[in-house]
Structure 1
């Protein structure tokens, strides 16, 4: 699996956007991702909707590749770690974190993170908070258009791209403006919001083969 990168300078910091839907911040040795939605597939199966049982394992495999590829001291999950209640997928994540005990995992709580903080800490997270401030950057789950230098998630941004054959397809994307970065959903099992338009923003669309700029 090849990791493709797009380096940007934002809020005076060098950040690396990856085609694996996570940002690496070299100066802080920090990996940033959002909307993992652990347990979503199991939640759907429990309600009679046939979803592959190992879809979450692909997300964990990608996360492991990122953690092994970069020098990571901290992982910031910008909300919606757990889709609903704890289940087998969440326990798989606890076992996953056990392999990376030297890395500090931090959760910014999202609207889906309704379980008690102590249960999240029991998974192996070092801290849980509503927002986090590092080097002038604010990390929150839901984007605030009036904020300055904010990294968020929540809306699962995407773009629609037209092919030369006049067919259209949708891609997850980073939304980057002067004051805001909105992360694509890390989970493969999420929808895409291609309707919201953010003024003076650049969309970095994610493909298996790289990252493309869509203005």
Structure 2
């Protein structure tokens, strides 16, 4: 695990992780959004040439985080599987072996739009699946970044990225966390995901991920 970046949100201490995940020490909870397991396999099933090894890469990062952090629960903020083609045997075999290494860790999936299309994870993975919102402490944990009437929302879905401009025509497009007044966004955890540009204003904070570190945007 790389260096965590601590912040305060809704009265809680949270750690932003360069691995594109969030750790909540008080709950000993690891939160990740938009893993999209099996996305590459789904694309390959349609005859499109895409990278291999993305599921193994995502699993390796999760393994490293779970080894480094004291976790009582792992929460997926939607889009665990990408689509119907994600049920390829190689993908499910890899997930089964990964789950066996963490068989005693409670895992919860807050169902996202891709989960509705892909179907819930196989029961053998022992992942509890719930509809949004999942209320925990001061937060409403969701996939869709829709405001909640009483709680601060932590969500995924958007795959936020932030565009940095340098000298001349230099441009960087980096995955980011965006914390708003009522709704905050986690970056897409998956190794094979796109991104949607977000902006920063006086009521929001943006933290980009670069060189395996978290950088606040001022």
TM-score (norm 1): 0.92
- For 1:65 and 1:170, how far apart are their aligned partners in 2? 25
How many correspondences in the alignment?
212
Gaps of 5+ in 2: none
Cα distance change, pair 164–83 in 1 and its aligned pair in 2 (3 A): same
Counterpart residue number, 1:173: 176
SS of match in other structure, 1:3: coil
TM-score (norm 2): 0.90
Post-superposition shift, 1:195?
Answer: 4.9
Counterpart residue number, 2:159: 156
Post-superposition shift, 1:178?
Answer: 3.1
- For 1:116 and 1:20, how far apart are their aligned partners in 2? 26
- For 1:184 and 1:207, how far apart are their aligned partners in 2? 13
- For 2:211 and 2:126, how far apart are their aligned partners in 1? 30
Post-superposition shift, 1:111?
Answer: 0.3
Counterpart residue number, 2:62: 63
Post-superposition shift, 1:9?
Answer: 0.6
Aligned pairs (5 A) from 1:74-93: 74-85=73-84, 86-87=87-88, 88-93=90-95
Gaps of 5+ in 1: none
Aligned pairs (5 A) from 1:86-101: 86-87=87-88, 88-101=90-103
1:73 is the counterpart of 2:72? yes
- For 2:43 and 2:16, how far apart are their aligned partners in 1? 31
